[in-house]
Structure 1
């Protein structure tokens, strides 16, 4: 039987606390978009490494750096989550990850063409801080409202996050310009800009978000021992609960595909679609706006149509989006014949971006909300540590997989790997069962 999770007050947290929690999503999207997706990833592969014409070495090294950082999260997140639960210290762990991300992101300014391993080291450190912080902030979700509100609250966070990413990247693109060797002296400021945005925008989180539970002080070795004990207990629980185990397996495959999309969409656009600068900027705007709509809209539907059903629908949409990405040149040719005039592949790619954007926010929000609904609030730290483990193990699998496949097949063909991942996630979700909002019968 699914484990019943009850909110202690059966009511949402104060609005300003929900706002403070969601503002961390607003703040950290500046890192995701400016560093991983839109600017620095492209800068690293094409300028810092610069192995033209196909950039296969740059793509591979970028995948390796991200994979190493996620491997570090896999080791640390479950232990940190267990310790946070035992000592009521979630905000302290969150603050530590925040500071680490800010400092190492700002230092990316000093990465110049040829300093490949220095750049990789900073990406490993900054992405570790960002990625483990995702688990820490997610662990507060079960305390923010009753079960029937968690889908909407999670969607609000993701939606506000994409608005934050839109604001940060719009300013960055306007101030810094295009990614190119000629514009390097301006574009190198992307690291300090992202760090400053994260620093300022996350302040409401630490002002308004409450630490629940009784603070306990214990020696470091006792914390580590307790963390290991609780991790082992969680593994036993996963062995007994098929539904929760299936959810984490599904999240593994889904997040593997999403991390590839996040890390390689703009690289794909530059290398395969060969878009121009205005189209790159427009793609960013389109995906951010549709991601907001997807996160908030599907979060609303999740609380009404059933979270498991909505989660599966997002995976079907993801599979269609990947097929459309792969077929973009062919679709452009078909449209050219149908309309009797040339249709550029980059314009079709923009249309695909609408579907991908809707999927991007909704799938992540739905998965996070499902974890919150299936675990006890008092154990949220450790279970969101496992959520982080599944997500970051997925990132390693996905990014190394696409990195190696694109060396063999080229990036255009390797993108179909994502289709396999989303379909695998859909199949893995079959055993998931969740009690309804009254917790009386499975749905």
Structure 2
């Protein structure tokens, strides 16, 4: 195939630069800490009311995030089908990006009120705004990525995809860190931006950060929206029934998996340890804020540590896999995750939390990248790679939902005797199940190689 012009390829990479700020600021750092802070103290058990039911504040956050991923898991096959059958990917990508950025900016209105007597209170209306905007911005973010990823095979041949994909990842990392630093300045120096009252210093920097993320995301996204190719009218009408086709493709993959023992065993192991990995990353900031009472600045430092060590960690794990094999390396990394969960249960200081963040960062990126490459290596020779990876992505999203719901439920049920620490221990079960199924995968693979 013909390689796309350099300008088009760089424009594609620029979307990673644009949207990665959302994943860092909203999903991982400032917003989770802000949510915990403004919903704290509503009752002795930190309960808030949402849709007529009372929830522990951090449990509600995890339930809401899990609900967003249920939607994403459901619509992903439809979106993948649209991408596969060459619908107008650029317009769909623009729609979900715009949707995500708008609702991200509306998080500005998720704020407590200062009452006449000086007390600070969070109204149910404001909480509803925060939850719905968080869920819808999350859906917009992940749905736009379906179309973003689907552009890569159209731009470069197979031999260049790893390199261009890595370039996009690198640009995304740089872009997200730059915006995070800008948000740091607002958070650490509120007086320089005219936030002088105690209320403004406590709440305005985070709210401004949400708007900055939205503007950064939608602003830089205009570059790929202007330069990425648009499909022709003929291509847009080439296939019918794209809404049902995505699920039919998943069913076809499932039927094939029944006859692929090694790949099936690996997917089961991937399902279990993915439930643990994603939940740890998404709940890390809440844990630091609620259990260790760390200020936002220290929580952000921890997430930055994770970001910084993730790249060398991925390189180290990749080289280890070349020497010892993918499955053995994955088993060792999963054991490290189990140790990290045990360590988190006994973590009480900020230094311990930083060290734990470094360990998590070293194994997080490596486990995710090695899992995807292992799945790719175990796949059969097929031209239908998009359907197989759609199945992989849906598996990951469903696992994440189960992990988040389990984490939230256990915290609510044990709020008076351990709470979130018990939730962390419960994640060990997911990693142990993943480890056991990896062992079964290795035995099946060795048996297949001997035959």
Instruction: Place the TM-score, normalised by the shorter chain, in its bin.
Output: 0.7 to 0.9
Q: Residue 413 of structure 1: CA displacement?
A: 2.2
Asked if structure 2 preserves the Cα contact closer than 8 Å seen for 1:155 and 1:366, the reply is: no
SS of the equivalent of 1:391 reads helix
1:64-107 C-alpha deviation (Å, 9 max, x unpaired): 21111111112111222133222365544433332221121111
Q: Deviations over 1:100-123 (max 9, x none)?
A: 211211111122232112211111
Give the 5 Å matches for 1:41-120.
41-48=32-39, 50-51=41-42, 54-55=45-46, 57-87=56-86, 90-113=89-112, 114=123, 115-120=126-131
The answer for the alignment partner of 2:353 in structure 1 is 349
Q: Which moved more, 1:233-242 or 1:392-401?
A: 233-242
Q: Is the 8 A contact 2:20 2:176 kept in 1?
A: yes
| 2:429 pairs with one of 420, 430, 442 | 420
Task: String of CA shifts for 1:134-160, please: whole Å, max 9, x gaps.
Answer: 44444556776658984x776665555
In the aligned structure 1, how far is the partner of 2:10 from the partner of 2:345?
Answer: 38
Give runs of aligned pairs for residues 143-222 of structure 1, distance below 5 A: 150=162, 158=169, 160-177=171-188, 183-202=202-221, 216-218=235-237, 222=241
Q: Distance in 1 between matches of 2:241 and 2:26?
A: 37
Deviations 1:367-395 (A, max 9, x none): 23334443667434333322221121112
Aligned mate of 1:404, from 409, 422, 426 = 409
Whole-Å separation in 1 of the counterparts to 2:328 and 2:150? 23
CA contact (8 A) 2:86 2:231 kept: no
- Aligned partners of 2:108, 2:437: CA distance in 1, in Å? 42
Kept after mapping to 1: 8 A contact 2:15/2:221: yes
Q: Given that residues 105 and 122 in structure 1 are in contact (C-alpha distance below 8 angstroms), is that contact kept between their aligned partners in structure 2?
A: yes
Partner in structure 2 of residue 385 of structure 1: 390
| Closer, same or farther: CA 378–208 of 1 in aligned 2, 3 Å | farther
Partner of residue 365, structure 1: 369
Deviation at 1:415, TM superposition (A): 0.8
Deviation at 1:199, TM superposition (A): 2.5
Query: Alignment partner of 1:127: what SS?
Result: helix
Aligned to 2:270: 251
Q: State the SS of the aligned residue for 2:291.
A: helix
1:242 is matched with 261
* Aligned counterpart in structure 2 of residue 267 of structure 1, from 266, 286, 289: 286
Distance 1:412 1:15, change over 3 A: farther
TM-score (norm: length of structure 1): 0.79
Residue 123 of structure 1 aligns with which residue? 134
- Quick one: which of 244, 248, 251 aligns to 1:229? 248
Counterpart Cα distance in 2 of 1:423 and 1:204: 44
- For residues 326-347 of structure 1, the C-alpha deviation after alignment (integer angstroms, 9 at most, x for no partner) is 2224xxxxxxxxxxxxxxx211
Residue 51 of structure 2: aligned partner: none
Q: Distance in 1 between matches of 2:251 and 2:136?
A: 27
Partners in 1 of 2:42 and 2:132 — Cα distance? Answer: 19
In 1, the alpha carbon distance for the partners of 2:372 and 2:229 equals 20
Counterparts in 2 of 1:212 and 1:256: CA distance versus 1, 3 Å: farther
Give the secondary structure class of the aligned counterpart of 2:235: coil
Alignment CA distance shift 1:218-1:309 (3 Å) = farther
Inter-partner Cα distance in structure 2 for 1:271 and 1:392: 26
Instruction: Specify the SS of the correspondent of 1:240.
Output: coil
Residue 115 of structure 2: aligned partner: none
Q: What value does the CA root-mean-square deviation take over the aligned residues?
A: 3.9
Q: TM-score, normalised by structure 2?
A: 0.78
Q: In 2, are the aligned partners of 1:163 and 1:288 still within 8 Å (CA)?
A: no
1:39 equivalent in structure 2 = 30
Give how far 1:351 is off.
1.1
In 2: Cα distance, 1:303 partner to 1:201 partner: 37
How many angstroms does 1:249 deviate by? 2.5
Mark the CA change 1:222 to 1:29 in structure 2 (over 3 Å): closer, same or farther: same
Query: C-alpha separation between the residues in 1 aligned to 2:148 and 2:228?
Result: 10
Contact 1:48 1:112 survives alignment (8 Å): no
Q: 2: distance between equivalents of 1:138 and 1:262?
A: 22
Offset at 1:194?
Answer: 1.3
With over 3 angstroms needed to count, the CA separation of the structure-2 counterparts of 1:271 and 1:120, relative to structure 1, is same
Distance (Å, rounded) in 1 between the aligned partners of 2:226 and 2:386: 20
Q: Judge conservation of contact 1:139–1:384 (CA < 8 Å) in 2.
A: no
Between the two structures, name the one with larger relative contact order (CA 8 Å, sep ≥ 6). 1
Change (3 A) 1:190 1:88: same
Per-residue CA distance 1:248-292 (angstroms, 9 max, x = gap)? 323322322222222221111111122345533432332221123
Residues 1:312 and 1:96: Cα distance change in structure 2 (over 3 Å)? farther
Structure 1 residues 371 and 213: alpha-carbon distance in aligned structure 2, compared to 1, 3 A threshold: farther
